[in-house]
Amino acid sequence: MALACKIKPKFYQDSVRLMRISETLSDLAHVRQAIVAMGTEANKRVLAEINLLTDVVEKAGANDLMIVVEAESDDVAQSAIAQAETILAEGIAQPTGNSEQDVPPRTLAQARERLKGSNLMMISVAGNYAALEAAKALRGGLHVFLFSDNVTLEEERQLKELAASKGLLMMGPGCGTAVINGVGLAFANALKRGPVGIVGASGTGLQELTTLIDRGGTGISQAIGVGGRDLSERIGGVMMRQGIAMLSADPQTEIIVLISKPPHPSVTESILEAVSASGKPVIVNFLGDKFVGERNGIHFTRTIEDTAEAVLQRVNGNHEVHFASNQTDIARQIAQEREQLSPGQCYLRGVFSGGTLCDEAIDILQESLPGVYSNIALSPQYTLESSWRSREHSCIDMGEEEFTQGRPHPMIDPRLRQERILKEAADPQVAVILLDVVIGYGAHDNPAQVIGETIRHARTQAAEQRRYLAVVAHVCGTQQDFQGLLRQEAMLREAGALVLPTNAQAARVAAAIVTS
């Protein structure tokens, strides 16, 4: 293998664009892997982990662009670098049209002039500039969806207090999902409109909940993402309270749902007081909190599936169960998988693209397994020493920063995740692989096809070593998503996976295979 690199000094580019260029280069024949990214310390740590860090790259500054290619020959690597430079040059070429409309707006003022009546700004820029741009938008009376991260806690607090003082939403930083007036922002799904309003501090948690509600026959009025730190002690739930206030005043919202990890104890009371005062039915899921039932007029649930069932029963006025699986069939499938395992196969490995789905799976798995190691473990004793190496029972969130710096998110480009699945499957002590597949806007065009190919490869690899490999999966999405829920599920089944209707059920079935 040949390794080639090039540094373009003081050449800042948007991270999403660089991810796409990395994906394009990685798809070239005879290219093993390619990274096009800014020279931040975090990106260089990622390069070091995957053995792509060179002396030249190590000297790059945060505003320098790095192009690093590993290929079968130096000629191929240099050709890939040349192609990257061509793509980058095209991106900064001057428009050839004569019309003013041919020139993209370069400032907020120009954009507002072009898009009269717009009231929301989506921001994806370097963290150093994200807070500044968000402040400009808020002062101009715009709601903000801040996809960017690397914003300090103090900046986040100030931005959210500014937004609340103006009656605006400041979703983020690091906000991955929202659905506003039927429009999906960032990673979201095609959903029916309906009476359910949601405020969430989790991306794939919002996606799982909204898609299950949609599949159950009802729809969403608004799904407001607030960013993962909103319920911390420092931020104080400012934007969740703002979201609750807006849903309380929204005539299209008949029921309010909250979903997040448990708030800091100092924040919980103010959140529950705000939602109690809404005058509307309320369902709350603080993921990982063990309390289930009614308290002060609020219905608390544990899993996202439970939350969706509670919503659907409330909307429909009945106790119908929408996501029940045939327990006899499930028990039979578990027994069939179990009996094919070798005596030494005893561990479960979860390889997730969704952080909240990984969190929920860990919470469920710990009911029956002695402990689950992870890169996002809440307990220090179960935190992996290295996110790149699993041990015993483990669940990995491949969407965490250590895997996405300089690379597309695994929901966009599953290749790094495919490599991890094969690595876990090669461990002779592994009995079952647990997976999520997230579809919808922003996601890969056909994730089940490529993940299905990896499942086949992993199971063939195990068979050649006279082992069996069980695979359990769940698809988060709707039939309206362009990838098609039923089509994605069918592809995974054809590859040999057991496919469950919810993430919670998939986790329970996977646990049963290694504990029955």
Q: What is the pLDDT of residues 307-364, one digit of tens each?
A: 999 999 999 998 888 888 888 999 999 999 999 999 899 999 999 999 999 999 999 9
pLDDT band for 404, please (50, 70, 90 cuts).
confident
Q: Helix 127-139 vs helix 153-165: angle between axes, to the nearest 10 degrees?
A: 10
Q: Is the pLDDT of residue 406 over 80?
A: no
Mean pLDDT rounded to a whole number for the chain: 91
pLDDT band for 98, please (50, 70, 90 cuts).
low
Mean predicted confidence (pLDDT) in 88-116: 69
Beta bridge partners of 349: 394, 433
Q: 107 vs 457, which has greater pLDDT? A: 457
The answer to whether the CB of 304 falls within 8 A of the CB of 212 is yes
Mean predicted confidence (pLDDT) in 82-90: 89
- CA 302 – CA 287 distance, rounded (Å): 6
pTM metric for this prediction: 0.85
Q: Is the pLDDT of residue 378 over 90?
A: no
Delimiting residues of CATH 3.40.50.261 domain(s) in the chain: 108-316, 327-515
Residue 318, C-beta contacts closer than 8 angstroms, at least 6 positions apart: none
pLDDT band for 100, please (50, 70, 90 cuts).
low
Q: 112 vs 161, which has greater pLDDT? A: 161
- Angle 396-398-399 from CA coordinates, rounded to 5°: 130
43, 92, 313 from 469: Cα distances, Å = 34, 49, 38
Instruction: Tell me the residue length of the chain.
Output: 516
Q: What is the CATH number of domain 108-316?
A: 3.40.50.261
Q: Is the pLDDT of residue 276 over 50?
A: yes
How confident is the model at residue 99, as a pLDDT?
56
Strand 177-180 and strand 183-186: the pairing is antiparallel
How confident is the model at residue 93, as a pLDDT?
47
- The pLDDT > 90 percentage for the chain reads 70
How confident is the model at residue 40, as a pLDDT?
83
The answer to whether the CB of 377 falls within 8 A of the CB of 355 is no
DSSP-based three-state secondary structure for 360: helix
- The pLDDT > 70 percentage for the chain reads 96
Tokens for 510? 């996977």
Residue 35 phi, psi dihedral angles, 5° rounding: -130, 125
Q: Is the pLDDT of residue 97 over 60?
A: no
* Buried/exposed code over 31-50 (b: 16+ C-beta within 10 A; e: otherwise): bebbbbbbbbeebbebbeeb
Distance of CA 332 to the CA centre of its chain: 32
Q: Is the pLDDT of residue 125 over 90?
A: no
Tokens for 441? 């806007």
Mean predicted confidence (pLDDT) in 177-198: 95
Strand 193-200 and strand 373-374: the pairing is unpaired
How confident is the model at residue 127, as a pLDDT?
67
- CA 6 – CA 3 distance, rounded (Å): 11
Mean predicted confidence (pLDDT) in 209-227: 96
pLDDT band for 389, please (50, 70, 90 cuts).
very high
Q: Give me the CATH topology for the region 2-91.
A: Gyrase A; domain 2 (3.30.1360)
User: Would you tell me which CATH number, out of the four given (3.40.50.261, 3.30.70.270, 3.30.300.100, 3.40.1350.10), belongs to the domain 327-515?
Assistant: 3.40.50.261
What would the pLDDT profile of 280-307 be if each residue is shown by its tens digit?
A: 999 999 988 888 999 889 999 999 999 9
Q: Is the pLDDT of residue 107 over 90?
A: no
What would the pLDDT profile of 135-158 be if each residue is shown by its tens digit?
A: 999 999 999 999 887 788 999 999
Delimiting residues of CATH 3.30.1360 domain(s) in the chain: 2-91
Q: How many CB atoms lie within 10 A of CB 135?
A: 17
Mean predicted confidence (pLDDT) in 15-25: 81
Q: Is the pLDDT of residue 106 over 90?
A: no
How confident is the model at residue 91, as a pLDDT?
62
DSSP 263: P
How confident is the model at residue 338, as a pLDDT?
92
